[in-house]
Amino acid sequence: MATIVIGSVPTAELALAHTFEALPSVTFESERIIESGDDAVMPLLWARDADREPLEDAISGDPTVNNVSLLADFGDEFLYRMDWVDQVQLLLHMLTNSEATILDAHGRSDGWRFRVMFPNRSHLSETHEFCSDHGMELTIESIREMDGQPSGRFGLTESQYRALITAVEEGYYDVPQKHTLAELAEEFEISHQALSERLRRGTESLVEDTLLVGAPSDR
């Protein structure tokens, strides 16, 4: 069964540590990360919270980066393609040996945080053993097994998933509102307080699973 993992590693164990040291405020978010050779990973990264000229100066002096290309410049964020050629053993192991898919990766000066889908728990165990064998610091923050239900893709319980979908379909979130919380609660045959809690918890889980991967783990 596929397993979704959220974890983090120090910047020094992936790439761009020199860039973060030069520009502590810069952040990176992956658009895509693929294996591009025996000892290289080729990510597409959005860079934010830094001006272009000092950013590119820092990247050009970063020993973990080669073949940097600017693909898009929106003034306050930039899309780069680059090769990571050093200290990427963990990602290479995930992409090759563990057959993992890196869904999200976010880099900050205090570390890289990512969301990865492994084919099953045994592949995750192999990655954990790999880190132990190579002295790498891998912090696992959450593990979720996908059970084939749509709810499992987003960290929701089945009841939270049904509540959120029904609330949208019935116009609870519309402006103006088509149905009240009390009316929806009657449909679920629960109290409006219980439904309100279900929606709040479901919304929190959905936001954490889809929008907050790059947020600090100690938020």
Quick: pLDDT tens for 59-84. 999 999 999 999 999 999 999 999 99
Report the 3 state secondary structure along 72-124. EECCCEEEEEEEECCCCHHHHHHHCCCCCEEEEEEEECCEEEEEEEECCHHHH
pLDDT, average across residues 21-37: 90
pLDDT at 178: 92
pLDDT at 150: 61
Quick: pLDDT tens for 127-155. 989 999 989 899 998 888 776 566 566 77
CA 13/CA 17 separation, integer angstroms: 8
- Single-letter amino acid, residue 163: A
pLDDT at 151: 57
CA 137/CA 207 separation, integer angstroms: 27
Of the pLDDT bands very low, low, confident and very high (cuts 50, 70, 90), residue 218 is very low
pLDDT at 121: 87
Q: Helix, strand, or coil here: 45?
A: strand
Cβ pair 91, 33 in contact under 8 A: yes
pLDDT at 57: 96
Q: Can you tell me which residue has the tokens 């050779």?
A: 37
CA 3/CA 62 separation, integer angstroms: 33
pLDDT at 78: 97
Say which residue, 129 or 4, is predicted with more confidence: 129
Where is mean pLDDT largest: 137-146, 174-183, 201-210?
A: 174-183
CA 214/CA 204 separation, integer angstroms: 15
Quick: pLDDT tens for 164-175. 999 999 999 999
Of the pLDDT bands very low, low, confident and very high (cuts 50, 70, 90), residue 12 is confident
Of the candidates 103, 154, 212, the one whose C-alpha atom is nearest the C-alpha of residue 164 is: 154
Q: What single string gives the DSSP state of each residue in 8-21?
A: EE-GGGSS-HHHHH
Cβ pair 2, 149 in contact under 8 A: no
Of the candidates 96, 60, 97, 95, the one whose C-alpha atom is nearest the C-alpha of residue 105 is: 95
Cβ pair 21, 34 in contact under 8 A: no
Tokens of 127: 């990655």
